[in-house]
Structures are given as structure tokens and as C-alpha cells.
Amino acid sequence: MLGMDIPLVDHRGDAAAQRKRDAARLRSAALAACAFLALLWWVHLFQHLFGDFPALALHPRTFNGLIGIVTAPLLHGSFAHLVSNSLPLLILITLGLSVVPRAAKRAFAVIWLFSGLFVWAVGRDSGHIGASGIDHGLMFFLFTIGIARRDRPAVAAALIAFFMYGGMVLTILPSDPQTSWEYHLGGALAGTLSALLWRRLDPAPARKRYDWEDEEESDAATPTGDTLEPSRPDDVPVLWHRPEAPSGQVLPFPERRAPRSE
């Protein structure tokens, strides 16, 4: 059963300081994504200058191909291949590290290794390279964790990821023979499992406190006499009292006479 703890009410009250913390975390996430992309581009530049390294590709069901589980995501067949993976990685890594940083770090490592193991076990007999398994895994991770956590930042990240890269759902099945759909499917499975496993690893964000909630509390703390509630009947002042008759007084009644006959 999916669920999460109810977020606490935000009692910090310093909205400006919170915005600065959020902006700093977003910058750190973007810098980490840029650093990873710089590594990919540096590796591809090395390939361009010194030639490809087929021994570092992932070759399914071979002992030598096991090294590709670690190295294959760093290699790309062309600049077009690298460019097609760069923007999704930039956006998805930034979203993950800024919204659920603890879970995203673990999910990144699991997606990297599990997708490689999946390709090595069930992939076609060919050399598999590229980081497309990672970006597919991150998209499925963000979408699933948004559904599982149901807090506002996670749901927003899930909607952004699915709106921009929801088409990845169609590429986890065989289509183009030149595309490693096995890497896509392995990454999608790893991302989904990581989201379900670590959906509560990051603390729930503090819920924003609204002005009307403070008004309710102030009304509850106000004495009863100052509210609009009616007073007790005993507390209502009596403006007029009916004079009471003396005890034992007999009221006079007229004498009843018998009728006369004619």
C-alpha cells in the first residue's frame, strides 16, 4: 500500500530564508548534473580523438562484457547520440537531486548497475553503449515517487518529468533495431523499484501555514464572553421582574345567586 506520513506544519515563518535554501539546493543539483554531463562529453571527446573502445561496451552473457556494466553508459556512438541524452539527463538529475536528494542518489547508482545487469542477462548479442538507460530510469523514478509520496514538490517533479519525457514509455519495447530497448527497459524497472523502495527516505516537506489557521487558533484562545456565541441563560440580565403576590392571599369572587322563577 502506497502512502506517506502527513507533512508537518511549517512553523519556521521565514519564507525568504526558505526560498534561499531551496535556490541553493537547486543550484547544487544543477551543478551535479552539469558535472556528470561534462564527464560524458569529455569521454566522448576522448573517443573522437583516439577512437572507440569496443572492449568497454556491454556484451551480453560474456565474461569480458561484465566490465560494460560500469563503462557502457559513459560511451556514445556519435555526437547526435550524446546530444539526445544530454538534455534529459540535465533536467531529470536536477529534478531528482533538488526534490528527493537522498533517494535520487541511491536510485542513480541502482539504475546504472541494474540496467547494465539486465542487458547483460537478456540483451541481444551486440555491443550496448549509451546513457539512455539512466535517463529512462530517472524518468520512471521521478514519476513513480511523485505518485508514492504525494507531496507537492514530488508531484510537481513527476508532472514535469512525464510532460517532457513521457514518450520514453513507448521506447521500453522493441522498435528500432539500432536502439538498445533492453537498456531502456532495465532502467525503467530499476527506477520504478528504487522509487517504491526509498519513497520515504527523504523527509516530507513542511506544509505551508495559512493565515486562516492562525485566526482559528486565536479565536479558540479568546474567552467565551468575547465571542459571538450566546451567553448562558443564567448570565443574561433580567430587565423586568413581575411583582410577586403576598403568600396566602385569597382572591375575592362574586357571590353566585340562584335564578328567580316567575
CB 125 within 8 A of CB 70: no
* Whole-number CA gyration radius for the chain: 37
For the cut 80, the answer to whether the pLDDT of residue 164 exceeds it is: yes
227-240 confidence digits (pLDDT tens): 556 666 666 677 76
The pLDDT of residue 177 is 84
pLDDT, greater one: 51 or 196: 196
Give me the residue spans of the domains in the chain. 15-197
Mean pLDDT calculated for residue range 30-49: 96
Q: So what's the pLDDT on residue 85?
A: 96
Stated pTM of the model = 0.76
- pLDDT value of position 9: 47
Alpha helices in 51-149 (DSSP H): 68-71, 79-99, 101-122, 132-149
Residue in the block written with cell 539500432: 178
CATH topology of domain 15-197: Rhomboid-like fold (1.20.1540)
Q: What are phi and psi of 58, to 5 degrees?
A: -95, 115
- Segment 208-233 shows an average pLDDT of 58
Q: Which three cell numbers stand for residue 175?
A: 522498435
pLDDT at 192: 98
Which residue did the predictor score with more confidence, 3 or 69? 69
Provide the pLDDT for residue 140.
98
Chain segment 108-153, per-residue pLDDT in tens: 999 999 999 999 999 999 999 999 999 999 999 999 999 999 999 9
End-to-end CA distance of the chain: 105
